[in-house]
Amino acid sequence: MGCGSGQQKMAAAPAAPQQEAAAAAPEETTREEGQARATDNSPPAWPADAARPEDVASIDAIMAAVYSTISGPSSQPRDWDRFRGLFAPGARLIPTGSSPDGGRLRALTVDGYIEGFKGVLEREPQGFFEVEVARRVERFDRIAHVFTTYEARKTPDGEPFMKGINSVQLFFDDTRWWVVTIYWAAERPGVEIPDEYRRGPGAG
């Protein structure tokens, strides 16, 4: 999907007697109760007309749209409204990488991804095309996981300059598909994509 932090410690205020008693008492919570108590920090839903119906009608369609929206020739603005329309409220895009002190992980909002990668994708001197070359799909009820292998190229049919795998989580609401998470890693020295993930795309 495109080309160590310090923490401040704060002293806790002394707990009131009733708080201490509550903390000492074990609490049994069912999974349903826990889900009901969880705070929903999701941003407002995108406008209902943000997605093209043909982009979200199937797994094949939404995966094609993900790759299509970030790809294009040099200096061509991408259709970021179309891109936004593919994602569920609160969706995350998570690039991974390596650094001298170990692995690196960042969880971006959809707009955070656009802000961070827009310039890279649209100003690539010879264009940027991310092409799916293989896919594995697992589905149960309304959820699906797509393990999709990509190649990044300067032209649609050019030689790849980068390869990797996008791990995509999808949700079907009985009307359309939504991207919930895209989590990806690129090949690097000593880490190559296994042969089983280099086969052609499967139906979804």
Please name every residue paired with 92 in a beta bridge, in sequence order, or none if there are none: 181
The model's pLDDT over 138-183, given as tens digits with 9 standing for 90+, comes to: 999 999 999 999 999 999 889 999 999 999 999 999 999 999 999 9
Lowest mean pLDDT among 3-17, 64-78, 182-196: 3-17
Task: State the residue for tokens 């020739």.
Answer: 73
pLDDT of residue 61: 98
**27 lies in a domain?**
no
**65 lies in a domain?**
yes
pTM summary value:
0.75
64's tokens: 């094609």
Distance (Å, whole) CA 134 – CA 93 = 20
Q: Phi first, then psi: what are they for 182, rounded to 5°?
A: -125, 125
Give the model's confidence band at 2: pLDDT under 50 very low, under 70 low, under 90 confident, else very high. low
**29 lies in a domain?**
no
The model's pLDDT over 58-69, given as tens digits with 9 standing for 90+, comes to: 999 999 999 999
Report how many domains make up the chain. 1
**198 lies in a domain?**
no
**204 lies in a domain?**
no
- Domain extent at residue 128: 53-189
**20 lies in a domain?**
no
CATH number at residue 136: 3.10.450.50
**96 lies in a domain?**
yes
pLDDT of residue 36: 45
CA dihedral 17, 22, 23, 26 (to 10 degrees): 150
89 pLDDT higher than 90 = yes
**77 lies in a domain?**
yes
